[in-house]
Amino acid sequence: MKNLNNKHTIKLNQLFAILSFLIIGNLFAQKPLDTLVIEKEYIHSRKAPLKVGKGTFIINKVDSLYLVNQIRFNYYEELRQLVKDDVDKDVENIVLKYEQIVKENDFLFDQLELKCKSQSALYQKTIDELKLSLNETDRTLDLSQRSLENANNAIDLSIKQISSAQKKQFWKNFGLIGGGVSIGLIVGLLIAN
């Protein structure tokens, strides 16, 4: 009986382990992601566009598949609403022309953006060159100002030296005149006596 109970206990334990494994496995299992298969027939379909959500895998079996974002889709829907009642208009031609205009606008925008970037680079280069030129002009002005100050100092020194030399010459001349007068007086006194 004990042996029989052991066998039942082992089988119950194994069954419990298997059930536990299945339950835990289901709890931790990831939610399966959606998969969308685009068959070859879709290329000729006129059905409404497919809306694909986040996390959806797409398996493409056609040669080319065009993905359109929400903004572009809204443009197409607005265009379709505009020409919906007018049978004479060829919607496909309108859409193709619209696409062509969008491509041309994208191209022109890219060209404009490139030109703006090159203009901005040229503007920055001009500013940098102007800064260098201004710095060079500032240095030249500093040197010129120092040279002018040195010249003014030299002129002031020359004026002082000339003034000093003139004073010395005056006193020297005064001394000669005074000496000549003195000698003339002495000679005149000697002759008169």
pLDDT tens, residue by residue, 143-169:
999 999 999 999 999 999 988 888 888
- 89 φ, ψ to 5°? -85, 140
Q: Which of 2-6, 138-142, 157-161 is least confident?
A: 2-6
Q: What is the CA radius of gyration of the chain?
A: 54
Answer whether residue 158 is part of any domain. Answer: no
Domain count, the chain: 2
Which amino acid makes up residue 167? K
Residues in the chain: 193
Look up the pTM and report it: 0.37
Is residue 135 one of the residues assigned to a domain?
A: no
Range(s) of the domain holding residue 55: 32-65
* Domain assignment present for 95: no
Cα three-residue angle 15-19-21, rounded to 5 degrees: 115
